[in-house]
Amino acid sequence: MNPLRKTAAALLALATLGLLVAAPAAILRAEGEQVRPAVAPFPAGKPRLVSAKLMREIHEQVKTPHKVGVVIPAEPGELLDCPNVFRHGGRWFMVFVANKDKVGYETHLAVSDDLLTWKRLGVILPFAKQGWDAWQAAGGLALYDTRWEGATHELGTHEGHYWLSYLGGALQGYETDPLAIGLAQSDDPSALRPWSRIAENPVLSPAQSDTRDFEHTTLYKSAVVRDEARTLGAEFVMAYNGKAPPYGQEQIGLAISDDLRTWRRFGHGPVVNNVGAAPWSISGDPQLVKIGDIWVMFYFGAFWKPGAFDTFAASYDLIHWTKWDGLHLVEPSEPYDQQFAHKPWVLKHEGVVYHFYCAVGDKGRVIALATSKDLRARDVAISP
């Protein structure tokens, strides 16, 4: 039985999920409900879409056909997930999550000097052990540098702090429903100490009154960026995938904020969805970058085409997305990612594109790397 979300057999059993959602949602409601802002409607008017020619040009810029190998192996009983990479103080750091013995996710930190060889440092967002996020704390970077060309890859700040968004849950297990989204902050993203959860958490949850149809069960990984142009009318934009009954299909939607603490949902439905042949298809774990005047969303797909893989979509306005339908950016091809190659973090540094992803195969659930140029000849310690 694979750990991606559910196997096909288990997903078919989700037809009964309508009976199962109500009780877990009460766990989140028990924390107290706030008056929610109205959902911002999608704007009217004819959208400007990204042409097929530009999509091919973007693919040429972001493709990573050369697999380097496993860069962070799992320890016994561990499942690793969701790599996010940034630069601070002249060194590279990776935020990733680990689920030990299927108790739940905590957020970890690793360090590197060359993006290839990584050293694990320890936990930076541990279990709360009580409340809505008692046993799940899977963090991802917020306010990262979205520029494709000329990026410093350093994190931005707000209110003098660095920020993580994270999916949290009260129940033990592997991504046990329901999950909601919270935020945490730190004055030093490279320090090995716990980040501070904010009092407003959870900022988004499936139990809120404004929850949309695609996110009634659980909210998954989010990308939070600063949009200086205020394309959607606010400084901060969050893209995240939500899951809904009856089959557990996952789709990507948007929320916006003026202060990172109070979030309002944008649009009455998802902005990226892939149905394919399976009603339990997944589009998830978005990462937003800016190539010229075009927003590019790296994300993973599963079950609407065979297996689990990384792909992308492009948009001028963050609302109307043109989905790439060509070769995947990464897909299963090696023993260490023969089951799944998914959950992207993609960056460009000194002319090389680095694509970190979660690989599931003969080495378990680990963090792997693919690149735009063949770097395997370098004298570095990379797992085969």
| pLDDT one-digit tens code per residue, 261-284 | 999 999 999 999 998 778 899 999
What percent of the chain is modeled with pLDDT above 90?
87
Tens-place pLDDT, residues 186-237: 999 999 999 999 999 999 999 999 999 999 999 999 999 999 999 999 999 9
Band of residue 33 on the pLDDT scale cut at 50, 70, 90? low
Architecture of domain 8-29+47-371: 5 Propeller (2.115)
Mean pLDDT of 35-57: 95
Residue 160 CB neighbour total at 10 angstroms: 7
Mean pLDDT to the nearest integer, 78-83: 98
Residue 260 pLDDT greater than 90, yes or no = yes
Q: Domain map of the chain by residue range?
A: 8-29+47-371
> Which tens digit of pLDDT belongs to each residue from 329-339?
999 999 999 99
Mean of pLDDT values over 41-59:
96
Instruction: Please say if the pLDDT value at position 85 is more than 60.
Output: yes
User: Given a cut of 60, is residue 63 above it in pLDDT?
Assistant: yes
Instruction: Say how far apart CA 344 and CA 329 lie, in whole Å.
Output: 9
For the segment 301-312, what is each residue's pLDDT rounded down to a tens digit?
999 999 999 999
3-state DSSP percent of the chain in helix, strand and coil, to 5: 10, 40, 45
Q: Which of 17-26, 206-215, 367-376 has the lowest mean pLDDT?
A: 17-26
Q: What is the pTM of this model?
A: 0.91
For residues 35-55, average pLDDT: 94
pLDDT at 2 over 90: no
**pLDDT greater than 50 at residue 9:** no
Per-residue pLDDT, averaged over 149-167, amounts to 98
Split at pLDDT 50, 70, 90, the class of 154 is: very high
pLDDT at 16 over 80: no
As a whole number, mean pLDDT of residues 67-88 equals: 98
Q: What is the pLDDT of residue 275?
A: 84
Which two three-digit tokens encode residue 170? 């009260």
> pLDDT tens for residues 96-147?
999 999 999 999 999 999 999 999 999 999 999 999 999 999 999 999 999 9
Q: Tokens representing 189?
A: 């993203």
State CA 48 to chain mean position distance: 26
pLDDT at residue 17 tops 80: no
pLDDT surpassing 50 at residue 342? yes
Beta strands in the chain (DSSP E): 66-72, 78-88, 91-100, 105-112, 119-125, 136-141, 162-169, 180-186, 196-197, 218-226, 236-244, 249-257, 263-266, 282-291, 294-302, 308-315, 322-323, 340-349, 352-361, 364-371
- Are 138 and 98 in contact by the 8 Å Cβ rule? The answer is no
The mean predicted confidence, pLDDT, of the chain is 91
Q: What percent of the chain shows pLDDT beyond 70?
A: 89
Q: Does the pLDDT value for residue 31 go beyond 70?
A: no
Confidence (pLDDT) at 376? 72
pLDDT at 170 over 50: yes
Q: Compute the average pLDDT of residues 144-162.
A: 98
